[in-house]
């Protein structure tokens, strides 16, 4: 399949981008920065084509459906959401400093899709439970929210590194020189969560609406549902902790990382560790 080959190519391109973004932090060369952004946009374009092409391929096989139906397809889409979100922010903020900490997420998930054993790139027909228009709304909102949280987690890591360096009284320089100020990092963590949280809510709501059509119950405390609610609680906690101004900076940055761990467990952990109704991805 051509689309799967394109995905493999994008995997290596994202690795290349990650390395370049780290080099950009080290050498602070504007030309290098422009180059890595160009490579990242081209990679995203290839990945977009790969996703669309896979859609076409499924129609050629006579089982046409959107490429959002299993672990492989969701991983590729997740990686696509992260890269897209990151590049849009990069373009808006005119700062490439975060690339070294956000692009690795886009790389890891697409690499997992194309390299991990047990994840098949085969296009399978949709089983009856997945034959629903809710599939698109549910998967797209969930992964856009996951991508915002991945971004937020990356920025939180930068925040902690920078804070650590400042507290030790080290001079600003080296790899952290290009990072925005602690305050703007903190507000970026918050902003990405105010994007991710409504999307996660929408993902849970569309999932509930779908479950009500498919299983006759909008909420059945299935492990996937419960873990999405746990994730929701963690980010609700983040917003309230920040709102009361009791927790700021370090503690909210850690909370954003904890939130992303919960996202990862909701996505993978539930499938590999627990069992339930939601066994597709």
Residues that bind other proteins (CB under 8 A): 63, 124-125, 127-129, 131-132, 194-195, 197-198, 201-202, 205, 208-210, 212-219, 221, 223, 226-227, 229-230, 233-234, 236-237, 240-241, 243-244, 246, 270, 274
Structure tokens at 190: 């918050």
| Residue 231 CB, nearest approach to other proteins (Å) | 9
Spatial distance between the Cα atoms of 183 and 270, rounded to a whole number of angstroms? 35
Strands (E), the chain: none
Residue 184 DSSP symbol: H
For other proteins, the closer CB: 175 or 241 = 241
Contact between residue 87 and residue 41 where contact means Cβ atoms under 8 Å apart? yes
For other proteins, the closer CB: 150 or 262 = 262
**Helix or strand or coil: residue 117?**
coil
Spatial distance between the Cα atoms of 13 and 32, rounded to a whole number of angstroms? 15
For other proteins, the closer CB: 182 or 195 = 195
| Residue 45 CB, nearest approach to other proteins (Å) | 28
Contact between residue 120 and residue 228 where contact means Cβ atoms under 8 Å apart? no
For other proteins, the closer CB: 166 or 217 = 217
Structure tokens at 211: 């479950």
Closest CA to 90 of 9, 202, 180: 180
| Residue 236 CB, nearest approach to other proteins (Å) | 6
How far CA 203 is from CA of 138, 196, 209, in Å, comes to 5, 10, 10
For other proteins, the closer CB: 66 or 229 = 229
Spatial distance between the Cα atoms of 259 and 238, rounded to a whole number of angstroms? 9
| Residue 218 CB, nearest approach to other proteins (Å) | 6
| Residue 237 CB, nearest approach to other proteins (Å) | 5
For other proteins, the closer CB: 92 or 171 = 92
For other proteins, the closer CB: 175 or 239 = 239
Structure tokens at 20: 């370049």
Closest CA to 138 of 203, 92, 80: 203
| Residue 28 CB, nearest approach to other proteins (Å) | 25
| Residue 221 CB, nearest approach to other proteins (Å) | 5
Angle, CA 157 vertex, CA 143 and CA 245 arms, to 5°: 90
């Amino acid at each position: 399949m051509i689309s799967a080959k394109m995905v493999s190519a994008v995997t290596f391109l994202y690795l290349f981008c990650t390395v370049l973004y780290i080099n950009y932090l080290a050498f602070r060369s504007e030309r290098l920065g422009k180059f890595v952004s160009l490579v990242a946009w081209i990679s995203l374009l290839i990945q977009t084509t790969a996703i669309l092409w896979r859609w076409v391929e499924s129609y050629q096989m006579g089982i046409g459906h959107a490429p959002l139906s299993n672990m492989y397809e969701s991983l590729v889409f997740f990686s696509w959401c992260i890269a897209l979100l990151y590049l849009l922010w990069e373009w808006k903020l005119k700062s490439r400093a975060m690339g070294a900490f956000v692009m690795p997420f886009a790389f890891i998930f697409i690499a997992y899709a194309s390299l991990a054993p047990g994840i098949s790139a085969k296009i399978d027909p949709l089983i009856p439970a997945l034959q629903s228009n809710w599939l698109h709304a549910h998967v797209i909102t969930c992964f856009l929210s996951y991508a915002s949280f991945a971004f937020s987690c990356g920025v939180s890591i930068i925040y902690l590194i920078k804070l650590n360096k400042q507290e030790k009284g080290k001079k600003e320089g080296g790899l952290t020189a290009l990072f925005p100020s602690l305050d703007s990092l903190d507000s970026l963590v918050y902003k990405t969560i105010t994007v991710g949280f409504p999307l996660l809510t929408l993902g849970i709501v569309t999932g509930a609406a779908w479950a009500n059509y498919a299983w006759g119950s909008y909420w059945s405390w299935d492990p996937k549902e419960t873990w999405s609610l746990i994730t929701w609680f963690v980010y609700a906690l983040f917003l309230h902790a920040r709102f009361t101004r009791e927790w700021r900076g370090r503690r909210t940055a850690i909370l954003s990382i904890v939130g992303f761990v919960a996202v990862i467990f909701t996505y993978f952990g539930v499938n590999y560790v627990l069992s339930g109704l939601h066994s597709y991805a």
